[in-house]
């Protein structure tokens, strides 16, 4: 019989395996705010990998064959969406400015992950959401294309960092068995913002300046609401502030006063310190975040596996957006379709595979990406030009991307100890951002000995990258029965009776 250890054990003892409705609502509201800004920044949803390259333009929309089926008015040449500036050749990843933009995105993600561990989840949300508001609002009055591109780059980076911090707040307040459902529930807010909020702003708010203000100002309001959002009690416990963690638990889980909770949290903190001392990683929060990733073999394996998976997923997701048929007559049509697909993907993940092992589901989802990529050239070869078929392929490709992206992010949380969770998450999505940019490079022009490839050969290369990246996730260690709070929880999943008695004896000694 397995025993629930660590902070999961405290939540199970209290009978509150997930945060209260108020916390879920506030985090969902934050995700909705981020979804409102998704229209002009060409995102990979729902963890935004906002790009500044490959943006759709009116010329792209003019080439498709299903114009008469538009849900909303067509995007015309007179519609000056600022993201079109990023689609120009001078900003592509192959150029020097494009490389700089990619570097900014990658560096910001690495810094964001480390800050989540060193400063806390709630402070990170405040800082990155504040930066998101500043650059999104400043883009309203950008004097030249260069400032537009720079603002879009920082806007995407800060939105992604805010998303990861909000996701961790939701998941860390839940147990291992419930964290997937909590994460998918709050991410539904992003789908609502994309599918409903962004198109409504475009339709009912006149003028481009006022539209951008309507997308950015809610972020400022949400920063004020963050005052009511408590810090992660799990992270606070690991930092040794046990009394504060007890108070936070009462706010986030609406629990009644229980005098036995504080001793249990003290015992967890002692276990945290002992496990770090054994691996010579104890000290400042920054040291406790980064050193175990190098010193602990299993944790290093988790880091490398997720980084490779993130890179492969970024390549496949970007290739899907490049090679799939363009079947929308307007930006708003695309947002509605992608938002609905995202909503369905999150519901399926939360209701069907929430209790399954991380790596096997991730392998299955990563294996679906090559299939989604290869269907497009297959239909082209057999001359299938049906609008319905092309729309189905595009939506299914996006469904695969969303599902794999969400499951990968949640998988990092479920396999990484609390003190290093943000760093691994930052490294993973930095690799995904890098892969997202690299897929925009032409393999035929970049690799001399592959100049014989045609467009179908390039699609096959990215499909193989996604498939191999998915297979390498099988190297990940076994998922613990509880969300790991210490290195001990990752190295020793308590599954036997001997370990159960040993853990109970340790807890009784601490009490």
Please tell me the total count of domains within the chain.
Answer: 1
**In-domain check, residue 272:** no
**In-domain check, residue 273:** no
Q: Are 360 and 40 in contact (CB under 8 A)?
A: no
d(CA 334, CA 319): 17
Residue 166's pLDDT is 92
Residue 249's pLDDT is 86
Other Cβ atoms closer than 10 A to 21: 9
Residue 252's pLDDT is 84
**All residues at 6 or more sequence positions from 253 whose CB lies less than 8 Å from its CB, including other chains:** 11, 14, 16, 19, 20, 173
Write out the residue range of the structural domain in which residue 155 sits. Answer: 6-69+82-255+278-502
CA distances from 257 to 4, 17, 228, 241 (A): 22, 17, 20, 18
User: Is-cis flag, bond preceding 318, omega within 30?
Assistant: no
CATH code, 96: 1.20.1250.20
d(CA 214, CA 193): 12
Residue 205's pLDDT is 85
**In-domain check, residue 491:** yes
Q: Are 327 and 394 in contact (CB under 8 A)?
A: yes
pLDDT digits (tens, 9 = 90+) for 25-36: 999 999 999 888
* DSSP 8-class letter at 193: I
Residue 165's pLDDT is 93
Residue 124's pLDDT is 93
pTM for the whole structure: 0.88
Residue 416's pLDDT is 93
**All residues at 6 or more sequence positions from 479 whose CB lies less than 8 Å from its CB, including other chains:** 176, 357, 358, 359, 414, 415, 493
d(CA 184, CA 169): 13
**In-domain check, residue 414:** yes
**In-domain check, residue 263:** no
**In-domain check, residue 96:** yes
**In-domain check, residue 397:** yes
The number of angstroms, rounded, from the C-alpha of 1 to the middle of its chain's C-alpha atoms is: 33
Q: Which residues of the chain are under the pLDDT cut of 70?
A: 1-4, 38-88, 257, 325-326, 380-385, 442-452, 493-511
DSSP string, 387-409: HHHHHHHHHHHHHHHHHHHHHHH
Residue 139's pLDDT is 84
Other Cβ atoms closer than 10 A to 89: 9
**In-domain check, residue 179:** yes
d(CA 164, CA 37): 16
């Amino acid at each position: 019989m397995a025993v629930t250890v660590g902070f999961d054990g405290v939540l199970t003892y209290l009978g509150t395996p997930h945060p209260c409705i108020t916390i879920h609502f506030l985090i969902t509201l934050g995700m909705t705010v981020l979804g409102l800004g998704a229209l002009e920044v060409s995102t990979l949803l729902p963890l935004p990998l906002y790009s500044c390259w490959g943006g759709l333009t009116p010329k792209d929309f003019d080439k498709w064959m299903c114009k008469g089926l538009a849900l909303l008015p067509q995007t015309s040449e007179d519609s000056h969406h600022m993201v079109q500036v990023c689609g120009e050749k001078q900003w592509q990843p192959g150029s020097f400015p494009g490389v700089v933009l990619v570097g900014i995105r990658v560096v910001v993600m690495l810094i964001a992950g480390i800050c989540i561990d060193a400063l806390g989840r709630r402070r990170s949300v405040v800082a990155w959401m504040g930066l998101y508001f500043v650059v999104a609002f400043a883009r309203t009055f950008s004097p030249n294309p260069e400032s537009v591109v720079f603002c879009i780059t920082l806007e995407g980076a800060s939105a992604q960092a805010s998303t990861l911090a909000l996701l961790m707040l939701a998941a860390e307040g839940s147990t291992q068995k419930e964290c997937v459902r909590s994460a998918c529930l709050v991410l539904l807010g992003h789908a609502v913002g994309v599918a409903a909020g962004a198109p409504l702003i475009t339709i009912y708010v006149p003028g481009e300046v006022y539209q951008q203000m309507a997308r950015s100002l809610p972020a400022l309001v949400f920063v004020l609401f963050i005052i009511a959002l408590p810090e992660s009690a799990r992270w606070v416990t690991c930092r040794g502030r046990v009394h504060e963690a007890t108070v936070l638990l009462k706010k986030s889980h609406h629990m009644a006063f229980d005098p036995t909770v504080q001793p249990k949290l003290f015992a967890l903190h002692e276990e945290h310190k002992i496990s770090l001392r054994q691996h010579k990683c104890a000290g400042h929060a920054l040291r406790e975040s980064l050193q175990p990733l190098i010193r602990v073999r299993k944790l290093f394996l988790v880091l490398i596996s997720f980084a490779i998976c993130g890179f492969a997923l970024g390549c496949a997701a970007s290739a899907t957006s490049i090679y799939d048929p363009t079947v929308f007559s307007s930006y708003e049509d695309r947002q509605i379709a992608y938002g609905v697909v995202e909503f369905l993907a999150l519901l399926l993940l939360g209701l069907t595979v929430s209790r399954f092992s991380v790596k096997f589901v991730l392998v299955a989802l990563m294996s679906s990406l090559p299939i989604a990529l290869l269907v497009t050239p297959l239909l082209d070869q057999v001359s299938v030009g049906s609008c319905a078929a092309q729309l189905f392929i595009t939506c299914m490709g996006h469904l695969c991307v969303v599902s794999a992206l969400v499951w990968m992010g949640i998988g990092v949380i479920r396999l990484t100890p609390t003190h290093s969770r943000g760093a691994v998450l930052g490294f993973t999505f930095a690799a995904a951002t890098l892969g997202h940019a690299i897929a925009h490079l032409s393999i035929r022009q970049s690799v001399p000995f592959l100049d014989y490839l045609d467009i179908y050969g390039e699609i096959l290369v990215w499909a193989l990258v996604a498939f191999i990246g998915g297979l390498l996730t099988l190297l990940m260690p076994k998922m613990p029965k509880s969300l790991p709070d210490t290195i001990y929880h990752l190295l020793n999943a308590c599954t036997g009776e001997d370990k159960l008695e040993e853990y109970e004896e340790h807890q009784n000694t601490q009490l």
